[in-house]
Chain A
Amino acid sequence: MANIAEARIRREFKEVVKSEEVAKCHIKVELVNDNYTELRGEIIGPPDTAYDGGKFILEIKIPDTYPFNPPKVKFATKIWHPNISSVTGAICLDILKDQWAAAMTLRTVLLSLQALLATAEPNDPQDAVVAKQYKENQAIFLQTARHWTNVYAGGPHREQVLEQKVEQVKNMGFEEHRARVALSSANWDPERATESLLNS
């Protein structure tokens, strides 16, 4: 089986490298080790979304039973999205679970993930806090997602108000990322954020 997995990945690798999406710099895959079991994927945030212009790194692990079982994919870049855990980067996407089909490829997976960034499924969330914000306070959600994209994925759009708030909480002696998570989860209410930081 492992032989099929490797042969397949070699082929797919070439397919992705040659594909027109790569030519337009939208997706990319790289080898992490020589035996094709670990790969590093990269997708660019789709335009006209909060993730626009961000570069998101993906950890891809190929199981021995590939392509009969799906690859294990998670975000290495921190991201604020209802279907992606803001803590671990784990992804909730049907084709990576029971809807996987042997004829799917790395290219289709990466394109699906890109599509997921454009259309979230808040009713089937991976991260409940983010999903709640998405449903109840869309404006704040978009700002937060844009801010995270800017900070962690090198996106071009800065959210200066939010940056100031992070700075403010950081100056109280909290680590920057923790401060950002607390603020994001508290809909950017500094008081509630510090309270949750003090209680944790």
Chain B
Amino acid sequence: MKRLQRIIGLFLVAACLLSGCGAGVQPEGRGEQKRDVTIILKAPVQEMNCISNPEITNTQAFLERVGYAFTEQYEAANVTIDVKMFALADEVSAVAETFDTEDAPDILYEGYFNMAGYIHTGRVVPLDDMITEAIRSDIYDSAWTISMTNGKTYMMPFLTMQNILIYNKEYFQSCGLDAYCGEGTEIQNWTMDEWTEILDTLAANLPEDVHPIAMYGKNNQGDTHIMSYLRAFGSKIFDDEGNFDLESPEAVRALEWLQGGVERGWYPPHPENLEMKDCSELFSTKKMVLYNFNGANKSLYDDLNHYGFVNYPGDVATSFPNGFEVFDNGDEEKVRIAKDFLRYLYETPEWLELSAGNIPMSKTVAEKHAGQITMLSDFVANSGHVVDFMNNSPNWQGENDSVRSVFYPHIAELLAGQVTPEECAAALNRDCNAALESGRQRSVLHK
């Protein structure tokens, strides 16, 4: 118990109590004539591992359960929470393309790496007025930091997932790489030389239809993981101005290293034609040794001893916070009800505890379920390797000229050997920075 407390204590190093913010917010309009209101709550399909309620296995069940409970107790209006689940690949169609239509989301629940971009559209409302002192003090400060833009809170952190790599120990052992296998669920770090050796060894010794590591470039799914590889030789990706800086020697070297893997047999043939989902299936069918892992792959949990965990090359990990945004679609009452919904969720322990399974953003929940959350201690221990892969950049997701839209085609060209690493770096710098600049120019924050 003391050990658990220590681990949590480490995770909470950056945490501090906030006071006085948004206390005592009461929903307006109470006592007025009840209106029928439908709140559209959208979220991508995602598995969930809820320790407090094993019946809830995905975000749909979680959101529907909370939504129903909220409408049952809400008195200011006759509210219906319409939960709409979409595939991650349909993010643009389900969210950005529905703006200014009747299908526009009032609440969005998903990863910050997609949600952050919407803040700059001016549609996401600040939530500070609904965050009570109790709620603010219960959430880790580090979570508030990444939820804020220009001093206002636009996202409500609920849980987070750390992105690292998982590997199949059996293949390591069969290829004579036992020495690189870690203990238990510890998250390892390998030097770049070790990485090269490991991948070369796997490529040389694995069966023909088993591939050493995931690589893909067909679409933008999983592109942030690919972006992590660019840090392999010390590139921070962004310069001090927040622009992409991929023409640095470290970044170009990383691109060379990635491109070289094609010839060295590290990836399935023609990875430029693959997408992350293909690699996911290859890993799940044991046709791939190393693949992305963020704790959401609960199907692996029963067999974790067969897997090892390692940070991305360069000892890098990223985090995928998940949380909520509220959109202003021109109906003040809907905005008010959406905020009431979030306040209800964060003030109700039963619903807040559903974040336990992944890494909860609530200190109370983390403390309560620390011993039950798979690899929580490992992730806490690895938190020092976590980097902010988005750098709070505008126009990251959504528009055709967004960073995510222009990044992967250059990676595909690199993997296909159509461009040199230098050319790829220059193209990435050019297009990604143009996307950022476009985003900055378009950026509008909701008052």
Chain B associates with chain A: no
A interface residues, Cβ below 8 angstroms from B: none
B interface residues, Cβ below 8 angstroms from A: none
